[in-house]
């Protein structure tokens, strides 16, 4: 997992230093979520081997699963052609979504509105109101 974030990794000089990071289940290929990483979040991800994002709403590092226990163990990190988007293959503990779904993409845009296409894995109240 060790790597240098310089010229050989994501380019944090782009997009105001905040890059989209996609988490994909390493086994099923399901896209679990998209969040943001600054350079510090990326380096913490490398250091810990678990996904660390930058929370724009809380304006600080977000150690994914720090509250819920639903951590993402990073198996592989890919960058796109412009090196300004990150794709992580992860092993997801529990549910990626704070609403208790395996994936944050649990709703399909259907002609008559949003349709939920996943069953909840866990009750959000059980995750955060312990």
The residue from 20, 26, 39, 122 that contacts a copy of itself (CB under 8 A) is 20
Positions in 60-79 near a copy of itself (CB under 8 A): 76-79
What are the distances in angstroms from CA 14 to CA 17, 18, 29, 36, 62?
6, 8, 27, 13, 21
From 21, 69, 27, select the one nearest 45 (Cα to Cα): 21
Q: Which of 16, 29, 129, 130 binds a copy of itself (CB under 8 A)?
A: 29
8 A C-beta contact, residue 119 and residue 97: no
Site string for a copy of itself, 80-99 (x = CB under 8 A): xxx--x-x---------xxx
Instruction: Looking at residues 96 to 115 of the shown chain, list those that interact with a copy of itself (rule: CB under 8 A).
Output: 97-99, 101, 104-114
What is the CA 105 to chain-centroid distance, rounded? 12
Residue 119 binding a copy of itself, by CB under 8 A: no
Burial class (CB in 10 A: 0-12, 13-18, 19+), 105: middle
- Binding positions for a copy of itself, rule: CB under 8 A: 1-4, 8-10, 20, 22, 24, 28-31, 33-34, 76-82, 85, 87, 97-99, 101, 104-114, 117
């Amino acid at each position: 997992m060790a790597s240098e974030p310089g010229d050989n990794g994501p380019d944090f000089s782009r997009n105001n230093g905040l890059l989209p990071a996609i988490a994909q289940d390493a086994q099923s290929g399901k896209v679990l979520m998209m969040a943001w990483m600054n350079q510090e979040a990326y380096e913490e991800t490398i250091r810990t081997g678990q996904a660390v994002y930058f929370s724009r709403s809380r304006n600080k590092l977000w150690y994914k699963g720090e509250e819920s226990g639903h951590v993402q163990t990073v198996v592989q990190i890919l960058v796109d052609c412009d090196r300004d988007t990150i794709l992580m293959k992860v092993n997801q503990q529990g549910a990626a979504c704070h609403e208790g779904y395996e994936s944050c993409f649990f709703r399909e845009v259907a002609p008559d509105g949003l349709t939920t296409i996943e069953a909840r894995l866990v009750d959000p109240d059980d995750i955060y109101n312990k």
